[in-house]
Structure 1
Amino acid sequence: MKELINLTKLFINDSLGLSLFFYNRTNNKKEFSKQLFTLIIVPIALIPAFFFYVFFMIALYTGLKVIDQTSVFLSAGYIFISFLIIVFGIMYILSVFYFSKNTEELISLPITPRKIIISKFASILIFEYAFAALLFVPVLIIYGVGEGMGLGYAILALVVLLTLPLLPLSLETALIMLIMRSSRVKGRKDFLQIIFVFLAIALVIGVQFWFGTQVSSSAEVDFQILLNSLLTNNESLLNSIGYFFPSSFLVAWGLNRLTLMSVVWIFSLVLITTLSFGFMVFIGERFYFTSLVSGKIARKGRTLSGIERGKFLGKKGHGAMAIFSMDMRLLLRTPVYFFNNVSVVIIVPLVLLVSLSFAELSPENINGVREFYREMPMVINFMFIGFFVFFGGTSATTATTFSREGKASWLTRIVPVSASDQIIGRTASALIVQSLGILCTLIGVYFFMPLTLTTVLLTVIMGLIGSLPILLFGLFIDMNRPLLDWDNPQKAVKNNMNVMITLFIGMFYVVMLIAICGALGYFVNQWVSYAVYIIVSLIITIAFYKKINKDLEKRLLAF
């Protein structure tokens, strides 16, 4: 047990970089202050979102109470959090089990494979427990207080909380180990990580789509029958959604009404969770280390001839294009970078499109929207502009552009390109990612509300121009405080405070700018508002460009 605890501490230390944190406290006060600031500001920044989540859950419980369907409340929260654990757990599982370098060093030591697997899984589980507690404890408290539950409920609820992340993570880890063991995926693990994430997201969206279809079809058959079912059977809604995650039935049966059978249902949940954990360890002992070793065998590409090699090496391109190509390749070939930068601009429009499909807008509603668009085009235009700039603000492309290079950043210092080429190349890669999000959005909107050519050109151009100050601000921040000391690419994005700073300040700037310009358009003239928006954006862009161009060479030497 002592060895398991020590290994788990080692993996947690590796994930959080605690050794570096305590080292900086003594030897590098400046860097320690930055790390401490991140530890303080991130939880503070998440407080409003947490309170919004709690208020939403209170409203949901109140609504279910009105129709006597509170039996579904715990199951809904359980399923929602389980899906989040599954989606975000993919990145952590692959990162800890397959992309960390500590496993290779531990293999040669007299440590059994089982202890390494359990310790790695435990290091993931600790973070997931904190995440699950943050989201599920409010659900348990709201239901317990609303239904007047006592001490027995609190004890059983604690047991459910302990099983919540363990069950889905165990099954997910076992599945990933089986897939990674396949001889057909050797050398393609980066590609598979991207596929895993998109499959998980597709699963969540697909389940939502199926559920929405089922509910809407039931309503079309006879809404009065559906309403009567909800009012006469307080578990009808539970029976409808429980099939998405069968263990949610055990949670509902165990906590909704406290009887002797409640202990049986919760014990069954614990038993299933224990068996799932054992199954994961069994799969890991037989397939994990084999797949880890076989994955080191990289696929060989086509061998270039002497003429082709000479032609390729002798080819010279523009400095900005070389930086752009380097940055884009780094984004596309590293799954963590791809998911946090490129996939966002695909997933967000897709989710909006699916949501609009669920809404099943009637022809009258669609005509009403189109009529509003004809009467108030400026409002719609600024809505699209704000949404397009949102892609630039949420993208971590420029805010991590130097951080993503890590210890290889010395290459950036020696390449024979000017500071202006660095700025143009790195900003261009962010604009390409943003343009992909704009294109996906326009394609999705076309099916509901065809836009005029003037609106398309105006919103696209102003969206790109408006995002330039945010992108350059992100570049400026990462230039001055790059996160280069990491041993896992996930840390360059996930643990990088530059992303949060750029997001919050960038979004605040855009909201204020659009609000002011929108007021000008309403009280003066819409074309005046567009002109002010463009002029302000260009002035800030030029100011950032000159500042970065002046200081970049000095900052690169300080990396």
Structure 2
Amino acid sequence: MKEIMALTKLFINESWGFSKFLYNRTNNKKAFYKQLVPMIIVPIALIPAFFMYVSFYIALYAGLRMINQTSVFLSVGYILTIALIIIFGIMYILSEFYFSKNIEELIPLPILSRNIIISKFLSILVSEYVFTALIFVPALIIYGVGEGMGFVYACLSILMFLTVPVLPLALLTALIMLIMQSASIKGRQDMLRIIFAFLGIALIMSVQVWFGNHMGNANNVDFQNLMNNLLKNNESLLNTIGYFVPTSLLLAWTLNKITLMSLAWAASSVAINIIAFALMVLVGKRFYIKSIVRGKIIKKGKRLSQIETQKALGKKSHGVMAIFSMDLRLLLRTPIYFFNNVSVVIIVPACLLISLSFIKLTPEDFNSIRNFYTEMPILVNFILIAFFIFFGATTATTATTFSREGKASWLTRMIPISSKDQIIGRTSVAVIIESLGIVFTLIGVSFYIPLTLLSLVLTVILGILGSLPILLFGLFMDMNHPLLDWDNPQKAVKNNMNVVTTLFVGMAYIGLLLAVSGLLGYFINPWLGYGLFSVISGIMTVVFYKIIDKRLAVKLLNFE
């Protein structure tokens, strides 16, 4: 047990960087304040979003109470929490079990493989408990206060809270270990990690579609009869949701009404989580270490002939293309980079299409949408422009471009390439990713609105032009404050304050610009609004380009 606790402490410390934080407080004040400022700013910046989230839960509880269906409230919160744990847990598990380098140092030591697996899982669990507390605890508190629950409810709530992330994480970890050990995918682990991450999200979205379609069948039932059934049976919605997620029933039966049976349901939930945890450990002991060792074996490639070698070495690329290719390859071959930078442009359009698919539109509705576009094209165009710029602001490509190179950044300082080539090459990668989101969005929009050629050209050009200042600002931030000292590639993105700063500053800037340009175009003249947007975006792009071009060479030499 002592060994497990020591290893868990080591993994948590490595993931959160506590030792480095305490060391810098005494020995490196500059680095200490660079770590401290994000720890203060990020929580403060997220307070408004958290209050909106809590307000949503309060409104949901009030609405369910009006139709006598509060019994389903905790199940809804539970299912939402589980879905988010699965989506984000995929990359946490892959990062801790397969991306982290500490396993290479631990394998030769006289440590039981079981203890390594348990400790790694517990370190992930600690992080997930923080996340679960923010997502699920508000639901527990709102329900407890609203229903007038007492001390026993509070104690059982704590117990059930502790079980929430265990089951999905344990099953997900076991599944990932089984897939990673397969001999048929030997040598393709990196690509598999990317595919598996997107498959996990696709699974959640597919379940949502299936659930929505089944729930949508209720539209065929007479509304009055449906309402009568809801008012008479206060667990009708709970039973429906429980059919799709059975474990949500255990939570509801434990906490909805505090009786002696609540203890039995709580014990059942704990037992299920223990079984899932034991299964994960059993699978890990059987397959995990073997898959790690096999993954370190590099398949020898085809030997090039002397002529082919000389040709490859003598091939010279343009500076922009060399930087573009280098940054893009780094992005593609590292799953955590690929997922965090590319997933948004795929997931967001897909989620919108799925949500819209739940709305049954009649031919009259389609005509109304098209008439609105015909009468108010400027509003639709600016909405699309804002959506396209969102892809540029949320991608962390330029805000982590130097950080992703880590300790290998010395190569960037040595290659004989101008600052101009560095800027254009690195920014082009972000533009390519943003363009993917634009294409997916336009494909989805085409099902609802037949955009004119003018709208297509205008929105795409202004969307990319408007995102350039944000992308260059991200490059500027990473140029000045690169996060190069990391032992896990996840930290270069997840622990990078440049990403958060770029997102908030970029959203504030573009929100103000779109508001002014849109109002000007709506009330005075559309082309005046488009023109103002283009001029300001162009000026800001040139300003940031000049600043970066002037300082980049010096900053590269001062990288630490």
TM over 0.5: yes
Q: Cα deviation per residue 1:159-198 (whole Å; 9 max; x = unaligned)?
A: 1001111111111111111111111222222112112211
Q: Which residue of 1 aligns with 2:195?
A: 195
Q: Cα deviation per residue 1:422-464 (whole Å; 9 max; x = unaligned)?
A: 0000011110000110000001100111100000000000001
Q: Which residue of 1 aligns with 2:406?
A: 406
Shift of 1:26: 2.2
Q: Which residue of 2 aligns with 1:54?
A: 54
Indicate how the Cα distance of structure 1 residues 543 and 155 shifts in structure 2: closer, same or farther if over 3 A, else same.
same
Q: Which residue of 1 aligns with 2:226?
A: 226
Shift of 1:211: 1.2
Within the alignment, does 1:317 sit opposite 2:317 as a pair? yes
Shift of 1:13: 1.1
Q: Which residue of 2 aligns with 1:122?
A: 122
Partner-residue secondary structure (3-state), 1:547: helix
Partner-residue secondary structure (3-state), 1:359: coil
Q: Which residue of 2 aligns with 1:87?
A: 87
Structure 2 letter corresponding to 1:303: R
Partner-residue secondary structure (3-state), 2:196: helix
Q: Which residue of 1 aligns with 2:211?
A: 211
Q: Which residue of 1 aligns with 2:463?
A: 463
Q: In structure 2, what is the Cα distance between the partners aligned to 1:133 and 1:541?
A: 41
Structure 1 letter corresponding to 2:32: F
Q: In structure 2, what is the Cα distance between the partners aligned to 1:56 and 1:470?
A: 31
Q: Does the 8 A contact of 1:187 with 1:296 survive in 2?
A: no
Q: Which residue of 2 aligns with 1:286?
A: 286
Q: Which residue of 2 aligns with 1:346?
A: 346
Q: Which residue of 2 aligns with 1:105?
A: 105
Give runs of aligned pairs for residues 160-559 of structure 1, distance below 5 A.
Answer: 160-559=160-559
Structure 2 letter corresponding to 1:468: L
Structure 2 letter corresponding to 1:119: S
Partner-residue secondary structure (3-state), 1:343: helix
User: 521-530 vs 434-443, which deviates more?
Assistant: 521-530
Q: Which residue of 2 aligns with 1:30?
A: 30
Q: Cα deviation per residue 1:320-343 (whole Å; 9 max; x = unaligned)?
A: 011001111111111111111112
Structure 2 letter corresponding to 1:37: V
Q: In structure 1, what is the Cα distance between the partners aligned to 2:235 and 2:309?
A: 69
Q: Does the 8 A contact of 2:369 with 2:448 survive in 1?
A: no
Q: Does the 8 A contact of 2:211 with 2:244 survive in 1?
A: no
- Over aligned residues, Cα RMSD in angstroms? 1.2
Q: Cα deviation per residue 1:100-124 (whole Å; 9 max; x = unaligned)?
A: 1111211222221121111111111
Q: In structure 1, what is the Cα distance between the partners aligned to 2:75 and 2:219?
A: 22
Q: In structure 2, what is the Cα distance between the partners aligned to 1:268 and 1:544?
A: 59
Q: Cα deviation per residue 1:393-416 (whole Å; 9 max; x = unaligned)?
A: 001010000000000000000111
Q: Does the 8 A contact of 1:219 with 1:226 survive in 2?
A: no
Q: In structure 2, what is the Cα distance between the partners aligned to 1:238 and 1:425?
A: 54
Q: Cα deviation per residue 1:372-409 (whole Å; 9 max; x = unaligned)?
A: 11111111111111111111000101000000000000
Shift of 1:362: 2.3
Shift of 1:255: 1.1
Q: In structure 2, what is the Cα distance between the partners aligned to 1:83 and 1:186?
A: 30
Structure 2 letter corresponding to 1:423: I
Q: In structure 2, what is the Cα distance between the partners aligned to 1:223 and 1:392?
A: 44
User: 411-420 vs 132-141, which deviates more?
Assistant: 132-141
Shift of 1:221: 4.4
Partner-residue secondary structure (3-state), 1:361: coil
Q: In structure 1, what is the Cα distance between the partners aligned to 2:225 and 2:209?
A: 22
Q: Which residue of 1 aligns with 2:16?
A: 16
Partner-residue secondary structure (3-state), 1:310: helix
Partner-residue secondary structure (3-state), 2:398: coil
User: 443-452 vs 355-364, which deviates more?
Assistant: 355-364
Shift of 1:68: 0.7
Partner-residue secondary structure (3-state), 2:400: coil
Contiguous gaps of at least 5 residues in structure 2: none
Partner-residue secondary structure (3-state), 1:234: coil
TM-score, normalisation: structure 1:
0.98
Q: In structure 2, what is the Cα distance between the partners aligned to 1:346 and 1:304?
A: 38
Q: In structure 1, what is the Cα distance between the partners aligned to 2:199 and 2:301?
A: 28
Q: Which residue of 1 aligns with 2:72?
A: 72
The percent identity for this pair of structures is 66
Q: In structure 2, what is the Cα distance between the partners aligned to 1:11 and 1:176?
A: 20
Partner-residue secondary structure (3-state), 1:111: coil
Q: Does the 8 A contact of 2:95 with 2:488 survive in 1?
A: yes
Q: Does the 8 A contact of 1:186 with 1:299 survive in 2?
A: no
Structure 2 letter corresponding to 1:291: S
Partner-residue secondary structure (3-state), 1:110: coil
Partner-residue secondary structure (3-state), 2:483: coil
Q: In structure 2, what is the Cα distance between the partners aligned to 1:27 and 1:155?
A: 43
User: 498-507 vs 162-171, which deviates more?
Assistant: 162-171
Q: Cα deviation per residue 1:53-92 (whole Å; 9 max; x = unaligned)?
A: 1100011111111111111111111111011111111111
Structure 2 letter corresponding to 1:133: A
User: 452-461 vs 357-366, which deviates more?
Assistant: 357-366
Shift of 1:43: 1.0
Shift of 1:215: 1.6
Q: In structure 2, what is the Cα distance between the partners aligned to 1:446 and 1:413?
A: 46
Pairs aligned (count):
559
Q: Which residue of 1 aligns with 2:96?
A: 96
Q: In structure 1, what is the Cα distance between the partners aligned to 2:385 and 2:391?
A: 10
Q: Does the 8 A contact of 2:399 with 2:498 survive in 1?
A: yes
Contiguous gaps of at least 5 residues in structure 1: none
